[in-house]
Amino acid sequence: MNLLEILEGLNVEIREQELLKDYTTLKIGGMVRYMVVPEDVQTATEVVKRLRESSVDFFVLGGGSNLLVPDSGIECVVLLLRGLKNIQILGQAPSVVVYAESGVALQGLVSLAMKQGLSGLEGLVGIPGSLGGAVFGNAGAFGYEIMNVVEEIDILRKGSRMVIKKEDLSYGYRDGGLLEGDVILSTRLRLEVTEPERIKRKMIEYLNIKKQTQPLDEPSAGCVFKNPPGESAGRLIDLAGCKGLTKGDIQVSTKHANFFVNKGQGRAEDFIALMDEVRERVLRIFSIELEPEIRILTKGCTSK
């Protein structure tokens, strides 16, 4: 059975032959045959159920801001959850619960929190991508992590819908504690009511730091490597003399050594070669093995 038959009768958009470079902040990635774009939680649930029943492999794509996609594209179906974007604020001061669906842009949520005077997301200002991607990878900066404010997550696991409480997840640094293949539908976040001005001041301060230290005007996927315990990956890469190192059109940013930027026609192949070289140099000089922070997708749609 082909995909169109499997999803027959469902009111869901199916895009064909999409270039994934158009869906990633790095502007890298080949073709996918089918991209399914549900507009609500119920449809997404039904799509996942049918794909699982028919043993069709799929990959959940959020904002594509933490991803390296192969130049030759991928063989599975892409499930794009950008249409799931409802937000509701529940409860009253001193703290509220925000229900937000996975496709909500993280920066949309951050600016809503700022306007409404809801504290807890200040350090996430400027991080691109979707809420689903942020929760999956426990995005954070400046001592903030999204999992600090998550209460529970509504997911599909092996086709079954379930709500997982934060206490039941072993999340950590850049890891929301979910399983490979879980589909996050929505999240409830607990935020503290405070003065909007206080939040705004902090966010402006953090944004200014980002602008000064990160190459935000060039395509990238954010930090390439995780910080080793007690160390900064960027500092090690810089000290290993890698700033400005280039493979094809991919360059170790001269502004922030843990960002690799695409200077034009960058390829995943070059990105990986550059990662290998940087990792080897850091290992040789500091005896520290850097681990990727970005998700590297294979053609067969496993990600690591």
Which of 117, 177, 222, 234 is in the footprint of ligand FAD by CB under 6 A? 222
| C-alpha span between 264 and 189 (Å, rounded) | 38
Roughly how many angstroms between the first and final C-alpha of the chain, as a whole number?
A: 29
User: Contact 126/206 with Cβ under 8 angstroms?
Assistant: yes
Query: Which DSSP string do the residues of 268-289 spell out, in sequence order?
Result: HHHHHHHHHHHHHHHHHHH---
| C-alpha span between 234 and 225 (Å, rounded) | 8
Which of 186, 220, 258, 262 is in the footprint of ligand FAD by CB under 6 A? 220
Contact call for residue 111 and ligand FAD (CB under 6 A): no
| Residue closer to ligand FAD (CB basis): 133 or 281 | 133
Contact call for residue 303 and ligand FAD (CB under 6 A): yes
Which of 10, 12, 141, 239 is in the footprint of ligand FAD by CB under 6 A? 141
Least Å distance, CB 67 to ligand FAD, is: 4
- Strand 295-296, strand 67-68: pairing: parallel
**CA atoms 55, 56, 57, 58: torsion sign:** negative
Least Å distance, CB 226 to ligand FAD, is: 10
For residue 91, the SS3 value is coil
- Footprint of ligand FAD on residues 23-82 (CB under 6 A)? 25, 59-67, 81
User: Contact 249/265 with Cβ under 8 angstroms?
Assistant: yes
- List the structure tokens of 76: 């599975």
Write out the H or E segment, with its range, that includes residue 25.
none
Peptide bond connecting 38 to the previous residue in cis, omega within 30 degrees of 0: no
Window contacting ligand FAD (CB under 6 A); options: 6-14, 88-96, 179-187, 282-290? 179-187
Residue 221 has what DSSP assignment?
Answer: -
Which of 77, 113, 127, 150 is in the footprint of ligand FAD by CB under 6 A? 127
Contact call for residue 216 and ligand FAD (CB under 6 A): yes
Contact call for residue 133 and ligand FAD (CB under 6 A): yes
Window contacting ligand FAD (CB under 6 A); options: 7-15, 219-227, 248-256, 276-284? 219-227
Contact call for residue 117 and ligand FAD (CB under 6 A): no
| Residue closer to ligand FAD (CB basis): 167 or 217 | 217
| Residue closer to ligand FAD (CB basis): 9 or 143 | 143
Q: How many other CB atoms are there within 10 angstroms of residue 289's CB atom?
A: 11
Binding site for ligand FAD (CB under 6 A): 25, 59-67, 81, 102, 127-130, 132-134, 136-137, 139-141, 182-184, 216, 220-222, 295, 303
